[in-house]
């Protein structure tokens, strides 16, 4: 039963990351504006993040969902989620009226509540990723 739950979580979280990446890959300029809205990075880094992050999300999401490079994919997804929670929290704390840019489509919900909702979703996924990592560690230690 736990194996089924693990697989379901891997596919759902990985699929979410692929979906998020796809929206950003379709319009990197729009995603760059969303990244710029957080006011955390200088312009050269905004472009690097806007062009690179969607590819990282896509590869990590596919790896997680399909189970290839599983540990690496799990680690990258976890690091991304942690970074997202910190960025969202920072924007909320500073009272920014921005759309999170999380799915790359622009024009999404704006403001404090939208940022908090997305941060809560990302925290939930981060907790599940940590659980998947612990489950993987337990499973591999029992096999030895």
CB atoms within 10 A of CB 8: 10
Residues 6+ apart with CB under 8 A from 54: 20, 21, 22, 24, 25, 28, 31, 104
What distances in angstroms separate CA 5 from CA 10, 32, 34, 66, 128, one per listed residue? Answer: 9, 35, 34, 15, 11
Q: What is the mean pLDDT of the chain?
A: 90
When comparing pLDDT for 103 and 77, which is higher? Answer: 77
Does 50 have pLDDT greater than 90?
A: yes
The tokens describing 130, both together, are: 């940590």
Residue 78, classed as helix, strand or coil, is: helix
Q: Give the whole-angstrom CA distance, residue 117 versus residue 51.
A: 25
User: What residues does each domain of the chain span?
Assistant: 2-138
Does 42 have pLDDT greater than 90?
A: yes
Tell me the per-residue pLDDT of 69-81, one tens digit each, with 9 for 90 and over: 999 999 999 999 9
DSSP 38: T
Q: Give the whole-angstrom CA distance, residue 30 versus residue 22.
A: 13
Give 90-127 as a DSSP string. Answer: HHHHTT---B--TTS-SS--BSHHHHHHHHHHHHHHHH
Does 139 have pLDDT greater than 60?
A: no
């Amino acid at each position: 039963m736990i194996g089924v739950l693990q697989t379901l979580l891997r596919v759902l979280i990985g699929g979410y990351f692929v979906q998020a990446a796809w929206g950003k890959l379709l319009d990197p300029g729009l995603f760059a504006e969303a990244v710029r809205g957080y006011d955390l990075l200088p312009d050269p880094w905004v472009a690097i993040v806007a062009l690179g992050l969607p590819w990282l999300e896509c590869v990590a999401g596919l790896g997680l969902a399909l189970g290839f490079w599983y540990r690496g994919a799990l680690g990258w997804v976890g690091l991304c989620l942690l970074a997202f929670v910190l960025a969202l929290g920072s924007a909320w704390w500073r009272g920014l009226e921005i759309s999170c840019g999380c799915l790359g489509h622009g024009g999404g919900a704006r403001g404090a509540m939208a940022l908090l909702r997305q941060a809560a979703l990302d925290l939930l996924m981060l907790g599940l990723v940590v659980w998947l990592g612990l489950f993987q560690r337990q499973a591999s230690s029992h096999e030895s």
